[in-house]
Amino acid sequence: MLKSKSKVAIIGSGFVGSSIAFAMALKQTVNEIVLIDVNKEKAMGEAMDISHGLPFMGQMSIYSGDYSDVKDCDVIVVTAGANRKPGETRLDLAKKNVSIAKSITTEVMKYYNHGVILVVSNPVDIITYMIQKWSGLPNGKVMGSGTVLDSIRFRYLLSEKLNVDVKNIHGYIIGEHGDSQLPLWSATHVAGKDINEYCISPNSPFTEADKPIIAEEVKKAGATIIKNKGATYYAIAVTVDSIIETLLKNQNTIRTVGSVINGPYGIHDVAISLPSIVNSEGVQEVLELNLTDEERVALMASVAQVKSVLDEVKDM
């Protein structure tokens, strides 16, 4: 159950940070939210705007503050960072946002006394790894939103294709939150029925040929949304709200959050997303599923992709 007194800090009051705050206000996920941003007026304006809707939502405290307010927070959400500009490479963005994240971590750790740091800023795998390193916190106390959003996009697209309630579809996207991510078809089920069995059912609208199409749609979803409206923030907001609820309620929920991996699947010293048990302490356990040989090869390729970027920024 929800703690009698719970507090969340959101660092960054842009589209994503403010949308997360609004989602939490709508769902009454937490008792207290503090918005922190270098643009103090922006944080104040967002806090005021959401607060004025509280009489129709419920009772909670939403205000703008500074880094000293991360003290006693159960969750510290990091959303601050630059957006990728035309002509910029992923490495260019990584270097820019790693520098921002280092400054944030330095300030946070001056006042940190407990709680989980939840990274949403992109490239999320790189930032998660670096904040884990800089903070000196136990492994699992820093996690990334990882491929949680990619996984629910995967389930949503399958539900649309199959015309089945998404609550009856289970599956995961793992690896990098990016181009090298992969779907775990071997762990995808419809009402407990293996997706491969579902494919061969005479009345199934889903065939083996649909798999790469669905996987590509998931991978390109964010870029498509950005092309059409300029940014993505609603779905990630409800995704982060769900992760925060898991943390605050100590739910032991399985989510494909990102964390620094050392051991599972023979992977070491890199942050990627794998199905993990999440509770109030952060990542409690990374689950090792029985991957196919093809999935294992694809996962290791994804690990190599993330490491190639990490190698360029590790010493920053």
> Quick one: tokens of 121?
């800023």
Q: Domain of residue 166: give its range.
A: 148-313
User: Are 233 and 258 part of one and the same domain?
Assistant: yes
The answer to whether residues 157 and 119 belong to one domain is no
217 in the same domain as 199: yes
Which pLDDT tens digit goes with each residue over 205-227? 888 889 999 999 999 999 899 88
* Geometric angle at alpha carbon 310, from 308 and 314, rounded to 5°: 135
pLDDT band at 316 (very low <50, low <70, confident <90, very high): confident
Q: Are residues 140 and 153 in the same domain?
A: no
135 and 22 in a common domain: yes
**CATH classification of the domain holding 216:** 3.90.110.10
Q: Does residue 2 register a pLDDT over 60?
A: no
Same domain membership, residue 305 and residue 190: yes
What's the total number of domains in the chain?
2
Do 225 and 83 share a domain, yes or no? no
Q: Is residue 54 part of a domain?
A: yes
Q: What does the radius of gyration of the chain's CA atoms come to, in whole angstroms?
A: 19
Q: Which residues, 6 or more positions from 33, have their beta carbon under 8 angstroms from its beta carbon?
A: 7, 8, 9, 10, 21, 24, 25, 47, 60, 61, 62, 63
Q: What is this structure's pTM?
A: 0.95
Domain boundary among 92, 118, 144: 144
If asked whether residues 121 and 195 sit together in one domain, one would say no
Looking at the predicted structure, is the pLDDT value of residue 4 above 90?
A: no
Q: In terms of domains, do 134 and 153 share one?
A: no
Cα–Cα distance list, 56 to 59, 60, 171 (Å): 9, 12, 36
Q: Which of 170, 177, 189, 268 is catalytic?
A: 177
Q: Is residue 297 part of a domain?
A: yes
Q: Are residues 173 and 220 in the same domain?
A: yes
HEC string of 211-227 equals HHHHHHHHHHHHHHHHH
The CATH number that applies at residue 45 is 3.40.50.720
Question: What tokens were used for 80?
Answer: 């601050």
Alpha-carbon distance of 276 to 299, in angstroms, equals: 16
Active site residue 52: no
